[in-house]
Structure 1
Amino acid sequence: MNENKMNMALLFQADLVLESPLTLGNGQAEYSHKDLMLDKSGRPLIPGSSMAGMFYHYFSRHLEGEELAMLDQLWGSDNGDGDYTSSMIYFYDALYSGEWDEEQIGKRDGVRIDDSTKTARKMGKYDFQILYPGNRFQFKVEILLREKHKSLRGFAEKILRAIWELGRTGKVRLGGKTSRGYGLASLENGAYHSFDFAGHPDVFEDYVNHPWSFENNIQVLEAAPSEIGERVWNLLVPLVLNRSLLIRSYDVATWDVDARQLDNPDHHAVIPGTSWAGVFRSHVQKIYKEIVSQCTGQLTEKQQGMIQNETAYLFGIEKRGATGQKSRIIFDESADAEESHYTDITRVAIDRFTGGGRRGALATNRVTVDGHFNLSVTIDGPSDVEKALIYLAITDLCDGMIAVGGETAIGRGVFSLDLEKAEDYLKVVVDESQGWCDALLKHIKEGLGGK
């Protein structure tokens, strides 16, 4: 029998819907430091290579042994001695669907922080284009197996079901800055068609002429529990904004004030994952150092280095040259769950010598007040020590000891726990937080030289 003869084909398609802003660079910097990937007609495009890499990375983290080897076969591999296996799974470019409006492209900003001073680096300010949530794409994937790989049929079907389950539950993350809440997407209207060439060779013509539509007896994939176990840990914390919040938008096209709160196309106030990550990274280190200092009586240079390394292992290390590490903690973007209320506040800087206003120092800021936000924190393969540090930081956030955004020195960005919606969160921390904290103390005593 010809080993290269086609054995089976699986076609899967769905609607891909953005649940958070997407940043996916095209390698150019005409409108920002990182422009959005567009097709020749000027509409957004998600390359198949991005989706193939994302799904491979996810499955390689959650499979092991024989199934990990089968994953490499399915995606294609090179064993180093010239023996190549071509990929058997094909991700098509996801094309934009629906009516296109250029106003769906926005702009976000970021700043690179100096590790030693904890302040912005010189020339560290940058911006990038985003595609707003709610936009839809056509998602298509094809698996084609030949006779020599027919033993992978069951595994290929399992991977296809897992892709659908990830998408159905809104866990697909595409593009850049995915650990900071960007590129979160879901799949809707999932359907597939299978072609069994081994048992029905006459279906080859149907396969060649397949129209990639939801007609012609394409089977709808039903919801099913994932067969691939996840190692992630998630906390969802409902929060109430106690005062006001100002996270500045730098998209100045429609400004009528000097600074305004970042929002989404629905005009709901937004807290980007980058803001959450910066606040938590700094506060986790602070908590860790304080606990170690109390347990040991002092904080040595060696202990500070170990704390720095453990924090970097959780929050990631910026890539410089060939070195770097992806963050294992994900902070999703938070949008005001209800209609946001804004108010304009005018301030003036005072000259401390004259007691009068400084020249040109009058400014009006548009802030949001009395909002409701959900903080979502996800960690890949966490230890109890890491859970304890994040739990302690969340506790400080809910106690008003951490402020988020700008102008925190005058009371902005202070939150408390939304007790009316916190039942699930409280149940988790009441049952498990003591075990996390015990593990943290044990680690300090045994690993960091505590008493």
Structure 2
Amino acid sequence: MFRDGNAHGDTDLVILRDSLEDKALLMGSSIAGALRNYLRDHKYGYNAEEISVLFGGQRSDEEGEQSPLIINDAISNTVPHIELRDGVKINSITRTAEDAQKYDLELLEAGTQFNVCFELLIENNREQLIRELVIVLEGLESGKISVGMKKQRGFGRCHVEEWQVWKFDLRKPDEQISWLNFEHWQLGLLPNHPTYESIEKALGLFLDEKEDKRDRLTVNATFTLATPLLIRSGQASSDKAPDVVHLKSRRDGKLQPVLSGTSLAGVLRHRAERIVNTLQKNTSIIDEIFGVDFSKDKTKKGKASRLIVHESVIKETEDLVQNRIAIDRFTGGALHGALFNEQPIFGSDKTELNLELELRQPKPHEIGLLLLLIKDLWTGDLPIGGTSSIGRGRLQGKKATITLASENKVWNITQVSKDESLIIDNAKDLEKFVDALNEEVAT
């Protein structure tokens, strides 16, 4: 999502559009910011001092050098399809919506295509410039870099399908003419010119995985639905549609049910608060992991979330409509005019959803807290979505892979069926992280 700060209308956050063609506009500054942060994290680790030549001087340096990398604004190839999402802040104690905390926002549909142009001017430090360029473009190519708003909640993930590369030696007059005549604004890949699926192959420089200095814990877990699931959406297609339908997003030209990163992150945060409060520890631990939204809590300093929660597509489900009616608590009878219907999704033996979490700069006690959250999801003790009070929203874990980059360790967890015990690689290692949480509480 790319926010238009000048737009006015019924939607709180709208997509930035080109004023002439009504196509989506991707600002070069948005891409540059995402690439710059990724390069710093990749080379030196999170929160390190930025030392690079690709993006010129440091942000704090008022007299720094100009970046030799030019990134043009990009316009979507077609008029995009827009998805409308609702958001609301939930009170962690009452588990109900807080007053005046509802908002809605526009999103670009998955699959929206842009043609992005990069231009690198090389005068000095050729080898370092090319290597840093390959690092950031490979990150963009493989989906490691997100752009736009709400990146920590799974939005803005993108990848590059094909590359075309041109080289001009401006020390030669004929090359200068070729560069001046080159149509930088040309939309789409130019015909009769080689294309590459990998930027490493295109530039002839291959990266070593050891160069990645990012310290992070990643969790990739596969779940199935133990009960029906309902995440409310305002996507009713007609007047005859149910009053409440499950959230869906278009993938590969088809609407598919999803578990949004915002819903899952909210559930995880509330359960983390409950765990920490039970252990009688200061909830600053929660803010360190999930961040602080200054616009919602002006008593605290804003801080980005270190926990990245990606959106998940739920495969092999079925939509069924259920009729319900509100009950008058005084008479015990049906409340007049309060008949409504809902359309949750139901699972089967083939139903799967893959949860992908990433915790940056993890500390041992934070890993322990995240493991407890995964455990609660795995056993169905932590429901997600709405109407959990009537038994919806419970998951059942099938397998998980936990990777800690700093120690180069991988743990696998599997459970063949609900009635069988878990199979965990080196469970004692994971128990140490939970012990670290207890020790952190005791200090």
The two structures have a TM-score, normalised by structure 1, of 0.81
- CA offsets, 1:216-263, max 9 Å, x none? 655633464454433232111111012211101124553521111111
- Hey, what's the Cα distance between the residues in 1 that align with 2:437 and 2:392? 36
Alignment match, 1:449: 442
Kindly indicate whether residue 307 of structure 2 is the aligned counterpart of residue 329 of structure 1.
yes
Alignment match, 1:71: 52
User: SS of 2:107's equivalent?
Assistant: strand
Equivalent residue for 2:324, pick from 347, 352, 356: 347
- Hey, what's the Cα distance between the residues in 2 that align with 1:24 and 1:186? 20
- CA offsets, 1:82-141, max 9 Å, x none? 6342222111112211x435xx11210111345787653321111011111011111221
Alignment match, 1:4: none
Alignment match, 1:263: 248
| Pair 1:438–1:228, CA change in 2 (3 A) | closer
- Hey, what's the Cα distance between the residues in 1 that align with 2:149 and 2:28? 15
Alignment match, 1:437: 431
Report deviation, 1:408: 0.3
Output the amino acid matched with 2:367: K
| Pair 1:440–1:164, CA change in 2 (3 A) | same
Alignment match, 1:378: 358
- Hey, what's the Cα distance between the residues in 1 that align with 2:411 and 2:149? 34
Moved more, 40-49 or 216-225: 216-225
Identity of aligned residues (%): 26
Kindly indicate whether residue 117 of structure 2 is the aligned counterpart of residue 140 of structure 1.
yes
Equivalent residue for 1:188, pick from 152, 157, 161: 161
Report deviation, 1:70: 4.3
Task: Answer yes or no: is the 8 Å Cα contact 2:265–2:309 preserved in 1.
Answer: yes
Task: Answer yes or no: is the 8 Å Cα contact 2:2–2:26 preserved in 1.
Answer: no
- Hey, what's the Cα distance between the residues in 1 that align with 2:249 and 2:341? 21
- Hey, what's the Cα distance between the residues in 2 that align with 1:78 and 1:387? 32
Alignment match, 2:181: 209
Higher relative contact order (CA 8 A, sep 6+): 1
Alignment match, 1:239: 223
Structure having the higher helix fraction is 1
| Pair 1:144–1:261, CA change in 2 (3 A) | same
Task: Answer yes or no: is the 8 Å Cα contact 1:244–1:412 preserved in 2.
Answer: yes
The two structures have a TM-score, normalised by structure 2, of 0.82
Task: Answer yes or no: is the 8 Å Cα contact 1:334–1:373 preserved in 2.
Answer: yes
Report deviation, 1:398: 1.2
- Hey, what's the Cα distance between the residues in 1 that align with 2:64 and 2:330? 75
Task: Answer yes or no: is the 8 Å Cα contact 1:283–1:393 preserved in 2.
Answer: yes
Alignment match, 1:16: none
- Hey, what's the Cα distance between the residues in 2 that align with 1:387 and 1:312? 15
TM alignment of 1:10-159, pairs within 5 A: 22=1, 24-40=3-19, 41-64=21-44, 70-71=51-52, 74-77=55-58, 80=61, 83-97=63-77, 99-100=78-79, 104-113=81-90, 119-146=96-123, 150-151=124-125, 153-159=126-132
Report deviation, 1:360: 1.6
Task: Answer yes or no: is the 8 Å Cα contact 2:220–2:401 preserved in 1.
Answer: no
Equivalent residue for 2:397, pick from 417, 420, 439: 417
| Pair 1:414–1:424, CA change in 2 (3 A) | same
Task: Answer yes or no: is the 8 Å Cα contact 2:90–2:97 preserved in 1.
Answer: yes
Structure having the higher strand fraction is 1
Report deviation, 1:410: 0.7
- Count of residues in correspondence between the two structures: 402
Report deviation, 1:206: 1.9
Report deviation, 1:395: 1.4
- CA offsets, 1:137-170, max 9 Å, x none? 1122111133xxx02x212211221123212322
- Hey, what's the Cα distance between the residues in 1 that align with 2:266 and 2:382? 11
Report deviation, 1:435: 2.4
| Pair 1:251–1:310, CA change in 2 (3 A) | same
Output the amino acid matched with 1:257: P
Structure 1: any 5+ residue segments left out of the alignment? Answer: 1-21, 293-298
- Hey, what's the Cα distance between the residues in 1 that align with 2:262 and 2:152? 9
- Hey, what's the Cα distance between the residues in 2 that align with 1:163 and 1:144? 16
Output the amino acid matched with 1:229: K
Equivalent residue for 2:284, pick from 304, 309, 313: 309
Report deviation, 1:423: 7.4
**CA-atom RMSD, angstroms?**
2.8
Task: Answer yes or no: is the 8 Å Cα contact 2:371–2:434 preserved in 1.
Answer: no
| Pair 1:442–1:231, CA change in 2 (3 A) | closer
- Hey, what's the Cα distance between the residues in 1 that align with 2:83 and 2:437? 45
- CA offsets, 1:290-311, max 9 Å, x none? 4x3xxxxxx3xxx3x2xx1111
- CA offsets, 1:161-205, max 9 Å, x none? 11232123222211111101111111110232233345x564222
User: SS of 1:377's equivalent?
Assistant: strand
